Amino acid sequence: MLFAMRAVSWEAMRCAIGGGREGGREGGECRAILRARVGRDNPAAMDGLHLTADLEGCDPRAAPMTDVQALRSLCVQAVRDAGLSPVAELFHRFDAPAGAADGSAGGITGVVLLAESHLAVHTWPERAAVTLDAYVCNVGADNSARAERLLDALLAAFAPGGRVVRHRLHRGSTPA
């Protein structure tokens, strides 16, 4: 395991060397010790959580699938409700795909820039699909639970009736 270029406690090193089990400590407790010693008090260390979800079977007639203002409102409100801080946003609606039935609308790509990082949402009404991407930095504060709440709120709002594939990726230089 590579440590940040600063002294860490022997306790933190024993956790890392012991594979997350030192002196009866479980992995979660060791990760907390390492974060405290390596990540939180070291501004050079990165620590983040990247969540993604691919949703199938979403209602293509639901307003957030094709209405920019509806999607923007949903996303910004979900960000705030999760306890995160929106600083800017950009949403773009695409033309209906070639060969689409009359009256069909194109999907939307939307991004909410967060003080903690970002949220990206992509809708495909012609496929009844949505992809979600939320990334939060955890330097200075652990925003992981907030990111989980954000993704859960959007999953509930889109109410997929089909397959949902979620991924959780720890990013940075401290253990997950």
Domain spans, the chain: 1-45, 47-172
137 is catalytic: yes
- Active-site hit among 50, 122, 144, 170: 122
pTM over 0.95: no
pLDDT in tens, the chain (176 residues): 233 333 333 344 344 444 444 444 455 565 555 455 444 555 557 899 999 999 999 999 999 999 999 999 999 999 999 999 999 999 999 998 877 665 678 999 999 999 999 999 999 999 999 999 999 999 889 999 999 999 999 999 999 999 999 999 999 875 54
User: Are residues 55 and 152 in contact, defined by beta-carbon separation less than 8 angstroms?
Assistant: no
Q: Tabulate helix, strand, coil % of the chain (nearest 5).
A: 35, 30, 40
167 is catalytic: no
What's 47-172's CATH class?
Answer: alpha beta
- Active-site hit among 30, 58, 75, 117: 117
- Active-site hit among 30, 58, 75, 137: 137
User: Are residues 114 and 80 in contact, defined by beta-carbon separation less than 8 angstroms?
Assistant: no
Give 37-57 pLDDT, tens digit per residue: 444 555 557 899 999 999 999
144 is catalytic: no
| Angle subtended by helix axes 144-158 and 68-81, to nearest 10 | 140
- Measure the CA–CA gap between 48 and 54, rounded to whole angstroms: 20
Task: Please report the beta strands in 78-116, taking only residues with DSSP state E, as ranges in sequence order.
Answer: 86-93, 108-114
